[in-house]
Each structure stands twice: as C-alpha cells, then as structure tokens.
Amino acid sequence: MIRSPQRFTRNKDTVRTLQRETIERCLAPRLGRLRYFGLPSSALADAIAWQDLFEKFYAVERGVKGKEWELQHDLGLEAFRAGLLGKISLLRGDIDLLIRRKRDEFGNRVPFPFDVVSLDYSGGLFYKNRRGNFTRLQAIAALVAHQGAKRSDFVLLISCNLDQIDQGEVRRTLENVRTELVRYGANGEQVVDAYLGHELEEARLKVYVPHFVNQEAAKNRYSCDTQQVIMYEGNLKTRMMAFRFVLSHDTRTESLRSPRERLSQVFNKPVLGVVGGEPKETTLGLPKLTVPEVPRTG
Amino acid sequence: MTTAKDAEERFAYGSVLEALSRGLYPDKRHVIREFVQNSYDSIYDLRKKHASELVQPIQISIQPPSILIADHGLGMSQSEVRQYRYLGYSQKERAKHGGFRGIGKYSGLAIAEKIIVDTSPLGVPERYRIIIHADKMMTESAQGRNRPLETVLEEHTEVSSAPAKAEEHYTFVELHHLSREAKSLLDAEVLRAYLAKTAPVPLDPAFGYAKQIERRLRENVPDFLAVNLSIDGEEVYKPYFANCREPEFDPVLYRDDQPAVLAYSWYCQNSEKGQFQLKDLAGLVFRVKNIAVGDGQLARGMLWNSTPERAFYFFGEIHVLDAQVTPSSDRTAFEDNAARERLAGRCLRISSNLNRKAGEESAQRRFDEVLDKGVEIVSRREGQVQARDLPLELKDQAVYEVTKLQEDLQKRLKGPRTPAAVNRAKRLMGRTRRFLSALNRESDGFLDLRTELKFDTKLRALYDCVVEVLREEFADDPDRLERIIRRIHQHAREKLKT
C-alpha cells in the first residue's frame, strides 16, 4: 500500500522557518555547503524547506517494525520527487542507536561532524530502554561528544512532545539548579518553586532541556547559546516543543557546570508560542530570575 | 477436448525464475544496466509522445544496502503496471526500445531482497507501486517448492495505487537490500566505470570532438538519444582518449548499390604509437539504441580476421540500425542469426579500412624512427671522423651502417610517407652520400693503432689476424665489436706507448 506523505501543520511550518533563521544567522559563511544530519521524516520536509542551504542531507529513517523498508523507500522516493536524490544519504535505523554506535543498521558510517543536527522526535525525550536508561538523552550527550571530538561548531535542533516526562528526573534537575542559584545569591527559591508548580509541563522542559544540553556542551568544550524555546500544537493537537542551540567549540571552554549567566538567560528568555502559524512571546506568567552583579575586582 | 487433468497442467514453474535471473545475468552489473535501459526507453517514449517535455537525467543513488534508479520518463500506465508483474511480457517494440523481452525487470531477483517500483504516468492523476518480493520467491526456490510460475508471481508481487498530480511523471526503482554477492554494485566507482562504457549517456563534454560526433550521430542514426545519467549526483559520460586524432565517420550500407544504412560508425585513431593504453576502453563498441553490446573485444572478434591488435589503435562506436540484429539478454553479444552475419560481413569493410590506416600509420611512424636513428648514426660517425676518433678497424663497419641506411631510406620513400618525412629523407640521403665519399677520400682521418704504436711486420700481421677473428665472432653484434676495438686501443696505448 502506498502511504500518503506526512502532512505538517502551519505551526510546524513556522517552527521550521524559525529554525531556518537560526541556521542562516549562525552558519552564514557556509550557507549552501552545510551538512545536515537528522530526522527529516519520510516526507523530507526539512530537506525540502532548507535545500538551498545544504550540500548534503544525512537523513535517518527507522521505519515501522517489520516493514522498515517501506518508509525508508518513501524517503528515497520523496527525495527524487523533490529533486534532492543527489543530496540525500539515507541512514537506516533508530537515530539514538545510530548516534551512539556511529553506524546505521547496515554498518554505514555516520560521518560526523555535521553543521546542523535536527532531532525531530515524534515522541518525548524521556523514553527509557529496558535497562531504564534515557536513550534519547544519552544519544544527545553522545552526539555532542562526537561533534566535540571533531571540534565542530553546529546548530542543534530538538523537537519533542510531552510524552513520558520523567517527573523525578525533571524535579531532581530543577532542585540542583535551585541549589546552584541560591549559592550565587539569586532569587532561585522563588523562581524554581514557580517552575515546579506551574500547570504546564512546557515550563519545566523550558529549563530542563537547555540545562541538559548546556551541561553536555560544557563537558565537550562547547559554548552553548540557547535560542528562544518554542511551544506549539502539532498534528492531532499534540503539544510540542522545539529547542534551538548554537554550539561553538572553544578549547578554552571547559567547565563542568554551565555558567550562571547562561542559567539566567535560560530562565528569563520568554517562550515563543506558535498559534495558528503565528509566533508570539509569552513568559507563561513565570517570575524573572535576578542574578546579583558580580563585584568587579581590581 | 480439455479434461480436468489438462486444466491443472502448468507449463512453467517457479524455478524458472532463478534460472532466468541468475542464469541470464551472471555479471551483476548487467542488472543495473537493465533498469537503466528501462529508464532510457521511458524517456524515449516521453520524447516521442510529448516532444516539448524536458528530458531530465536518469539518476542513480547508492543508498547501502540498496540502489535507487529513477527517471522522469513517461511513467507506466495502469495496464503496464499490471503487466510489469508478468514474466516475458512487454509492450515495448524491438525497433524502438532498448529492451523488449519483458525479462530484465526480473533480473533483480538475483541480487535484491525486493524490487520496489513506483511510477506515475504523465497526464494521469494516479501513481502506482509494484513490489516484487524476490526474497520470498528465492526462498521458495531454495526450499524446493516448485509451484506453478503464475502462483509464485501472483503471491509474491503486489500492486497498489494512490492519487498523484497528473503532471508528475516518473519511475523510481529500489533494488532493496542487495545480496552479499552483489555488494560490489554499491561501489559508485565500479558502477560509474561500467555505465560510462555501456549506458546511453553523452560523450564527455571535455572531449574536444564530443559535439561534432554527437551532431553526426543525431544526423545519421534515426532516433538517436543520449540521456544524462548521474550517480550520487555526479554525471556519467562515455569515456574517451585525449591522445587521439580527429574523428572519422563511416556509414555501413546494406548493399553497396543502395543507400539504406545498416550501421553508422565513428572512430578516432591513436595519435601516439600503437594501441591505446587502456584496452578495456579501446576498440570499436557496437551500440543498439545507443546502449553498448559487448565491448571492444566483441567488434575485434567479429571483424578483425587479421592483425587483431590493430583494433585497439582506435576507439569509437558502431551504431547498429538494423532492427533484426538482436542483442543477447545480457548484451554481451548478438543473437546468432542471419542479420548478425550480415552485420559482421558488411562491417568487415570498417576493419580492413582501419587496418590499412593502422598499417600506414605504423609505416610512417617507423619511417620517422628510421630517420631519427639515421640522423643519429650519420652525425655520430661524422663527428668521429672529424675528431679522428674512429679506429681504422671500424671503417668498414661505418661504411656498412651508412650504406644500409641509404638502402632503407630508398625503400621507405616508395611506401606510405608524409611530405615532411620525404624532405627529411632526401636531406639525410645527401648527407650519407657526402659522408661515404669523404670516407673513401680520407686516408688519415682514422685512428691507426699499428702506425701509432709502430708495430713491426710480425706484430702488425698478428694484430690484423686478431681483428679479423673478432670481426667474424661479433658480426651479429657490431656495437660490441666497436667497444672491444676501442678497449684494445686504450689498453694497447697504455701498455705499449712507452
């Protein structure tokens, strides 16, 4: 049976436009020669929308269990129909495994580094394997490490829904952040309480995901710039979030914790809510984090 | 009268699939050529029926473990899609298309787990997908389940459809999950080298004569079509040799007294000595519908009865226009029929023409070599005489060398020659004549060891005797004789001068 290509909402198109703006702004000198790695979906929406920016797309498709070939074939077909066949390299399998093993199911090498990595997950970030590990988070950590080993600057795009959020993990992280903030003398108690008690999961993920990526970035000598977090409604009215990170490699950057300036940026940047295809800033009614100025020495 | 038993009889069984796929296509690369051929035919049909449509390249994408082959040809109609599942059925016409047997599509059975074909015919708002589950067919065969062919084909193939834009037209084939034996096809360079030689692609634009040749082919080969083809985004072109002479064109007629053309050939001769270095690209290659049949060895075997090495002094093509000349399924040769015999007979003229050209070229080249060598001999001997450095014992040798050169030049002046070679030869003949007469006149222009070292009569007789023996012993190796004589001179001077 021939499947119809996946369709996207106006909101998703807007997210893609915002992501494109980030790519254009942050990778300007190399536009047209960029290398993409990620999950463009079998409809190849990312690749079609951004084809003028990229020289090569390494597209990952897992397919449906038992009929993996079908969606993988569809991806090839869409690439051909869109005139992108010469730019596409298909990698088959689960992207998280692929990142960790640096090979796809058929032994094809994942040729790190890439300029843009798009992890457009259809599910949540907290998927656990049989051993209880957060495979997606592990994969993101591995990805940053592989890119870091090549000292390559890149843009990391993550989209996910709010499924299977591990409240314990999120709370633990926010508590750690609270401790850190209080140590710096910020109004951490009040702010973190507001985030933990907020009715929307998006509020907590707005801090959790950037904090996680910033930590991994710092471990791998990256300076990480977190762009405004986006929340939107996807297909079937699924609540989705999109994150954009610009990671710049710097051999001087090596700290186990992300600096508090970054934390304040993460907390204080308003969220972009996309409704009916229109982006609009919102604070979600959350308080601002105030970090006391560090007294200048000398 | 048909009985119930007769009705159950089947005349073909599943095992025939294995025989047809593996047996007919032992070289796995031919499978790719089959699908490229289908793409070519589809583009041919598009051009015939919708001349205004842009001809777009055939695209091959290597996506391990699969290969994708796609074209924006006419696409297949619903009935063609249904018939795609049939074995040995094709609506294609032998005179117009590269393929026509209806077997090629099943060639992929031997190498892939699945053959997935998507097609969208121009002007029809539908697209179709055919899936041939090669793995299931081959598993059946391996298990010895030899069910009727119809049942096997019906059970292990699928056809489905979906709405599409009427203006879309394409065929997209995936040879999904190639077998281990076919893994070499996943090497883009292997595929490129093969398709450059066999596919109906244009000549490399870097080849200086490409435009001229393709213009002549369009003018002389009815429906000539070269289609761009890319592998992983990189264009594939027919190979060429840069060190070649200007192309020549040679139509082969059915009969000398009638204008109907049986084949049309072009060829370029090596501008350097002898054969082209890469023999697998050298020679003349037969093409039917611009798709190669065999390689240079086929034309060499069919047309060169004598001096076969001369076939590779050239590269070029023989485009066969006779629809009765039928390539074998794997296109490594022609079916053995009367048309093939006629083709071979009529094309003999090409080989004899090329042999003559190669012979003349060799003779001219040899003439130039003789002239170069001759100039060297005369210059050396003239220098030795002027410097009084030529032992008297070698005078006869020098005379012999130059006389022999004169004879050789006179002989070559009667054979194939260029005006430049003739002029050089005449000038050299003059020099040889002047040199020989000077030798005859000169008496003290030589090194005479006997006089120099004041040999007495007995020693002189002994020395002459030794030299005579040496001359006889080294008659076949004058260079060595010269070296020995010169060494004797040197040693004798050292030992006897004081």
Is A4 within 8 Å of chain B by CB?
yes
Confidence of residue B200 (pLDDT cuts 50, 70, 90): very high
> Inter-chain contact A76–B162, Cβ cutoff 8 Å?
no
In a domain, A1, yes or no: no
In a domain, A43, yes or no: yes
> Inter-chain contact A80–B68, Cβ cutoff 8 Å?
yes
Give A94-127 pLDDT, tens digit per residue: 999 999 999 999 999 999 999 999 999 989 999 9
Q: Answer yes or no: is pLDDT of B5 > 50.
A: no
Is A67 within 8 Å of chain B by CB?
no
Whether residue A83 contacts residue A44, with contact meaning beta carbons closer than 8 Å, is answered with no
Whether residue B288 contacts residue B329, with contact meaning beta carbons closer than 8 Å, is answered with no
Chain B residues in contact with A76 by the CB 8 A cut-off are 61, 63, 66, 68, 172, 174
Is A205 within 8 Å of chain B by CB?
no
Q: H/E/C letters for each residue in chain A?
A: CCCCCCCCCHHHHHHHHHHHHHHHHHCHHHCCCEEEEECCCCCCHHHHHHCCCEEEEEEEECCECCEHHHHHHHHHHHHHHCCCHHHEEEEECCHHHHHHHCECCCCCECCCCCCEEEEECCCCCCCECCCCCEHHHHHHHHHHHHHHHCCCCEEEEEEEECCCCCHHHHHHHHHHHHHHHHHCCCCHHHHHHHHHCCCCHHHHHHHHHHHHHHHHHHHCCEEEEECCCEEEECHHHCEEEEEEEEEEECCCCCCCCCCHHHHHHHHHCCEEEEECCEEEEECCCCCCCCCCCCCCCC
> Inter-chain contact A85–B129, Cβ cutoff 8 Å?
no
Min Cα distance A218 → chain B (Å) is 35
Q: Answer yes or no: is pLDDT of B144 > 80.
A: no
In a domain, A288, yes or no: no
Min Cα distance A155 → chain B (Å) is 26
Q: Which of B65, B118, B234 sits opposite A77 (nearest CB)?
A: B118
In a domain, A127, yes or no: yes
What ipTM was estimated for this complex?
0.89
What average pLDDT does range B250-262 have in this prediction? 93
Chain B residues in contact with A68 by the CB 8 A cut-off are none
In a domain, A5, yes or no: no
In a domain, A224, yes or no: yes
What is residue A183's predicted lDDT score, i.e. its pLDDT? 86
In a domain, A290, yes or no: no
- Residue of B318 and A130 predicted with greater confidence: B318
> Inter-chain contact B233–A85, Cβ cutoff 8 Å?
yes
Is B228 within 8 Å of chain A by CB?
no
Min Cα distance B156 → chain A (Å) is 14
> Inter-chain contact A85–B176, Cβ cutoff 8 Å?
no
CATH number at residue A255: 3.40.50.150
Which of A1, A2, A56 is the mutation pick for testing B, counting most B CBs within 10 A? A2
Q: What is the residue range of A184's domain?
A: 10-282
Taking CA atoms, B314 is separated from A100, B252, B469, in Å, by 55, 17, 50
Q: Which of A1, A4, A90 sits opposite B63 (nearest CB)?
A: A90
User: How many domains does one find in chain A?
Assistant: 1
What is residue A66's predicted lDDT score, i.e. its pLDDT? 93
Give the residue on A whose Cα is nearest the Cα of B177: A69
Average per-residue pLDDT for chain A: 92
Confidence of residue B182 (pLDDT cuts 50, 70, 90): very high
**Which of A175-184, B95-104, B200-209 has the largest mean confidence?**
B200-209
What is residue A258's predicted lDDT score, i.e. its pLDDT? 55
Q: Answer yes or no: is pLDDT of B10 > 70.
A: no
Chain B residues in contact with A67 by the CB 8 A cut-off are none
Give B224-246 pLDDT, tens digit per residue: 999 999 999 999 999 999 999 99
Chain A residues in contact with B230 by the CB 8 A cut-off are 86
Give B356-406 pLDDT, tens digit per residue: 999 988 888 899 999 999 999 999 999 998 888 899 999 989 999 999 999
Residue type, A225: D
What is residue B141's predicted lDDT score, i.e. its pLDDT? 79
Is A86 within 8 Å of chain B by CB?
yes
Which of B58, B61, B167, B229 is the mutation pick for testing A, counting most A CBs within 10 A? B61
Which range among B264-268, B386-390, B493-497 shows the weakest confidence by mean pLDDT? B493-497
Is A51 within 8 Å of chain B by CB?
no
In a domain, A264, yes or no: yes
Confidence of residue B137 (pLDDT cuts 50, 70, 90): confident
Min Cα distance A253 → chain B (Å) is 38
Min Cα distance A174 → chain B (Å) is 44
Q: Answer yes or no: is pLDDT of A175 > 80.
A: yes
What is residue B1's predicted lDDT score, i.e. its pLDDT? 45
Is A87 within 8 Å of chain B by CB?
yes
What stretch of H or E contains B18?
helix B15-18
Place of tokens 């213009």: B215
Is A88 within 8 Å of chain B by CB?
yes
> Inter-chain contact B233–A86, Cβ cutoff 8 Å?
yes
Confidence of residue A264 (pLDDT cuts 50, 70, 90): confident
How far apart are alpha carbons A179 and B265 in whole angstroms?
A: 85
What is residue B4's predicted lDDT score, i.e. its pLDDT? 47
